[in-house]
Chain A
Amino acid sequence: MLSDQRGLLAEIERDVREQRRNGAITPEYEAELDGAFAAVAPPGFVGGGFDSVVDQAARHAIVDFDAPIVGNRPLRFVKRTVKLLTAWYIIFVGRQLVAFAGTTLRALRMLGRRVDRLERRIPGMDPGVQAMPSAVASDRPIVEWVGICRGVFGHTALPGLVLHADCGDGALLSALVASDIDGYGIDARADAGEVADAQDVEVRRIDTLTHLEALAPGSLRGIVLAHCVDRLPLGDQLQLIASSTAAVHADGAIVLIGQRPDGYLNSADRVAGDLAPGRPLHPETWLHLLHQCNWLQTECHVGHRALPDGLTEGGDPAIAALIERVFPANSYCIVARRV
């Protein structure tokens, strides 16, 4: 019986990291393997859009009326005779089938065009918006939350790794790994991997929701959600909590680092903010969503305020309330546990 499955998996992860670091496993080869099956599979199984699946249906809609009649001599003769005798009937039925398939395909293509038009009007669905992910450089730094993350993940004996979703420059992940918290990051943005490599942490280039859905239920010790939480469309934000709930161990934790909507709109990178498919949510909203998924033990920490020179937070409660109103903390960190 394996007494320390978790420790063994961590060692295997370290071996993979070592093989990547020493060049035995290159990103190009891994990308080649990832794409190899997609290249030989029919459209629709691995990727492939609606149009390519409709094209495949169109190819299958063409009925071949010319049945093969190969075989030994008497069998070939029988097949040929049956074919000749039934040809008129097969063609009669076949033409109706082809007409039905052709009309159905035409309707599908019309529907596809209508969906395309609809998608262009929905933020986050438009391919143009999807093709403009914000750069890692435009992320707000989140390393101020490393102490809380260490406190949450540092003293548990749970199996699995800690996942940092949308880890950006990898600074927070690097600090966690340096504290002996075994974890890895994911970030679909092209520049994330390069920045994180410099931090010597493992970052897989994959979209957060896709990765979470591929994980075995309860396989993560915990998850840190950052950056993407402020950019995803509402439906994806809801899915993010649902998928994280499934992937995290029953005794694990979610740490969600977000920005207040008002602070986000005043952020330095307004172009990235304006072009993001979604908007940040208030911490109360995330807490509500987490409670709905049975994350009942939650705490919300408020980030630092950027106060003008000479202004301090301490002292008079009335002044503190005024400061809170005028200079609200932009970022917050929610820690959620099930029990």
Chain B
Amino acid sequence: MLGRPVHQFLPSLSPRDAIGAHALAIQKVLQAHGVTSEIFTGETHRELRSAARSYKEWRGGDAILMYHAAIGCALGDWVATRSETLVLDYHNITPAEYFDTWAPETGLMLSQGRSQLAKLAPIVELGLADSSYNASELDALGCRATAVVPILIDPSHWGTIDAAFRDELRRGKQGHDWLFVGRVAANKAHHDLITSFALYRRVYDQHARLWIVGGISSGEYWDALHRLVATLGIVEHVTFAGSVTQGELGAYYDAADVFVCVSEHEGFLVPLIEAMWWGLPVVAYGCTAIPGTVEQAGIVLPHKQPAFVAAAVNRVMSDAALRESLIAAGHARVDDFSPDRTAEILLGQLSTLS
């Protein structure tokens, strides 16, 4: 049983953000177990102002401070100076080189985040990591104790569908529809997804469509992707949906045939689990935390040559037995991340500090 309050500190709290949703879910779990828990942030989106306070309002006390590390910010330096019991929840920090070309200012913040992580890891009492991949980074930085605690996923929010929008998506269907969900950022390699899709259309399915769902991290990268799509002559077959509502997101998942991910750097990637929950077969390039997130519930590719990615998707689309087994394996994998199970692991780890 936890005897002390556990307060969470995160750089920013925004709606439709995986880390923000995770922090809110942790707060819910802690409060349900009678633990006092507040959220303190560097910045809070106006929609969530009632859910968090500025970290500058923290007055100290006997509490466990849990810092969510994902990017550099003033809060990261501030946490390192605190004398309370510190817990680090590490969601991974994208290497800055992915942003240096497209959004140098973000690259600087990521570099700062890495420096702060190197300072924090050896001084925290406990390092929590979304994946074994993230845990191995904390170990390498000298963290005294690390534990894998996946992102707290709450599938009860996922079932929302904008039915009219889904029907609209289905009306234009003639071939297979690819889906990828995630911020449009260079580390997620949307450019490789697009070239693989172009080859798939040319070789296997001339009516295929690609839906790219997710907000923009860099306007320049976004523009370059549009130029790429135009160069390859597939403008009409690729949709850049941007940031969408929960209902629209549900419609995309429900209408798509396959979830394809060729991202090069992920600390966990919640949309993989979301896709499995929606019954989509997953084809993903196996790097960083992705093999650990997918395990045997999807096709994990050792490389991502466009011809190979396209052939893998074609195999899934043309082999009904394989598709069914992937969907079943996906559902089973989602159960591994059930909120109750993750909450139990989290509470167990935190109780070692009390």
A residues sitting closer than 8 Å to B (CB atoms) are: 1-3, 5, 8-9, 11-13, 15-16, 19-20, 24-25, 29-30, 33-34, 36-37, 39-42, 44-45, 160-161, 204, 214-217, 219-220
Contact = CB atoms under 8 A, between A and B. Distances in A.
Given A13-B308, A19-B307, A20-B307, A40 B286 contact: no
A37 B197 CA distance: 13
A158 to B, nearest CB: 12
Nearest to A217: B287
Given A29-B199, A33-B198, A33-B199, A219 B305 contact: no
B101 A37 contact: no
Contacts of B141: none
B85 interface: no
A16 B307 contact: yes
Contacts of B300: 5, 216
A36 B329 contact: no
B132 to A, nearest CB: 12
Interface residues of B, number: 44
B5 interface: no
A11 B316 CA distance: 12
B228 A12 contact: no
A214 B288 CA distance: 12
B191 A2 contact: no
Nearest to A204: B305
B308 A12 contact: yes
A44 B107 CA distance: 14
Given A1-B296, A45-B101, A12 B286 contact: no
A53 B298 CA distance: 39
Contacts of A16: 305, 307-308, 311
Contacts of B307: 16, 19-20, 25, 30
A132 B325 CA distance: 51
A40 B231 CA distance: 9
Given A2-B326, A40-B228, A19 B203 contact: yes
Given A12-B312, A41-B191, A216 B287 contact: yes
B315 A215 contact: no
B199 A40 contact: no
A3, A29, A33, A160 — most chain B CB neighbours (10 Å): A33
20 contacts: A1-B296, A1-B297, A1-B325, A1-B328, A1-B332, A2-B299, A2-B326, A9-B302, A12-B308, A12-B315, A24-B203, A30-B305, A37-B192, A39-B231, A40-B231, A41-B191, A45-B101, A45-B102, A216-B286, A216-B287
A70 B91 CA distance: 42
A166 B286 CA distance: 24
B303 interface: yes
B306 interface: yes
B291 interface: yes
A41 to B, nearest CB: 5
Nearest to A32: B232
Contact of B232 (A30, A36, A44): A36
Contact of A5 (B194, B228, B296): B296
Lowest 10 A-B CB distances belong to which pairs? Answer: A219-B302, A40-B227, A45-B101, A37-B191, A216-B286, A33-B195, A1-B329, A1-B296, A216-B287, A15-B311
A298 B161 CA distance: 58
B286, B291, B307 — most chain A CB neighbours (10 Å): B307
A37 B198 CA distance: 12
Given A12-B312, A12-B315, A37 B296 contact: no
Interface string B308-331: 100110110000001001101100
Contacts of A20: 307
B144 interface: no
Contact of A15 (B299, B314, B332): B314
Contacts of B199: 25, 29-30, 33
B231 A42 contact: no
A51 B186 CA distance: 22
B195 A36 contact: yes
A160 B286 CA distance: 12
Interface string B220-253: 1000100110011000000000000000000000
Contacts of B311: 12, 15-16, 19
A37 B220 contact: no
Nearest to B318: A15
Nearest to B192: A37
Contacts of B227: 40
B108 interface: no
B306 A216 contact: no
A196 B314 CA distance: 27
A2 B296 contact: yes
A271 B21 CA distance: 64
Contacts of A160: 302
A30 B101 contact: no
Contacts of A3: 296
A24 B199 CA distance: 10
A33 B198 CA distance: 8
A204 B227 CA distance: 27
A8 B287 contact: no
B33 interface: no
Contacts of B203: 19, 24-25
Contacts of A42: 101-102, 220, 224
